[in-house]
A = this chain, B = another copy of it.
Amino acid sequence: MRIGLFTALFPALSLDEVIGKIKPLGIETLEFGTGNYPGDPHLKLDWLRAPAKIREFRQKLDDEGITISALSCHGNALHPNRALARAHAETSRKTVLMAEKLGVKTVIDFSGCPGDSDRARYPNWSPAPWPPDFPQLLEWQWEKKALPYWKKHARFARDHGVHFAVEMHPGCLVYNPETLLRLRGEAGATVGCNFDPSHLFWQGIDPSSAVRALGAAIFHVHAKDTRIYQANSRVNGVLDTKPYSDERRRSFLFRTVGYGHGREFWTDLVSTLQLVGYNGTLSIEHEDSLMSSDEGLVKAARFLNEIVIREKLKAMWWA
């Protein structure tokens, strides 16, 4: 395993400045946004028509000894707003092409969330088994919207030697291992997951148990934490729609790794990833409103350096 950074954290910095920041922190690999929700501060899909730019970008990283762990274009290609859906899908397609050009294996995206019909205005993510409206709608969303799109999209990626790491995220059809494995079961092994524990904790998921269930379906990992504030969740539960800025009243906040869960959790997560054979990147994503970006990055990198397992033992001498 190695430690990376999702550069969306520093939209205002140049790539050189980002590299300058990570070098002293033991960070060896970068994840770049290419549009949609994360934006594209350091890598432009336009460059697909300007191969020299891509080569230059690649060269700079090679010169610095930095690899690319993934390209990220989290979007909602199933959005009922067709223009938006089309744009997000297009970005995702182009990201596949860019990944191919850069020799990057992994593209990260959301599964997306459709509306309630073709005339809907908003995505409809209603995770309840009753009243029967919800399961009916859900089947329509999967069968008519998600599966057709993803079967085709996954094929496209496979044809270009790239695989999709879908991030399990509330508000999307794929939000837990079961829904991820359903998509993978239908769209094929080109679809796996970007494992970001921060969206799992508050669902009551034990991330290490999820890692065991997902096994080889884990393509990439986000190092991001969440703290559940029981002072609030005891009363109002974990289904919290209040803005992230309402810090004192929210039931959970995204936190820097090590501030939502301690060393014991993270050593176990890293070890369980090792156990199922994952030896890719832990890519730092910082969305902690209680700490500045710079401080968060340093804290996360130091913490991960302390606990990351870089090499598996070759052979046991004691048994």
The 8 Å CB contact of A313, one of B80, B128, B170, B290, is B290
- A129 to B261 alpha-carbon distance, docked (Å): 22
Smallest Cβ-Cβ distance to A137: which chain B residue? B122
A209–B238 contact, CB under 8 A? Answer: no
In contact, B319 and A245 (Cβ under 8 angstroms)? yes
Structural contact, A206 and B178, CB atoms closer than 8 A = no
- Judged by a CB distance under 8 angstroms, whether A59 is at the interface is no
- CB-based contact B287/A316 at 8 Å: yes
Task: List B contacts of A318 (CB < 8 A).
Answer: 130, 244, 254, 287
Check if A85 is an interface residue, CB within 8 A of chain B: no
> For window 103-127 of chain A, which residues contact chain B by CB distance below 8 Å?
115-117, 119-127
Given contacts A204-B238, A235-B178, A295-B311, contact A319 B243 (CB under 8 A): yes
User: A234 at interface (Cβ–Cβ under 8 A)?
Assistant: yes
| B125 touching A128, Cβ below 8 Å | yes
* Contact, CB under 8 Å: A312 / B287: no
User: Nearest-CB distance from A202 to chain B (Å)?
Assistant: 8
Is A248 in the interface zone, CB < 8 Å from B? Answer: yes
Tell me whether chain A's interface is mostly helix, strand or loop, or mixed.
loop
Contact B235 A213 (CB under 8 A): yes
Which residues of chain B come closer than 8 Å to A48, judged between CB atoms?
Answer: none
How long is the Cα–Cα vector from A168 to B123 in the complex, in angstroms?
A: 23
Note all chain B residues with C-beta closer than 8 A to A200: 237
Residues of B within 8 A of A238 (CB): 203-204, 238
A131 CB, min distance to chain B CBs, angstroms: 6
Cβ contact of A271, chosen from B177, B178, B227, B241, cutoff 8 A: B227
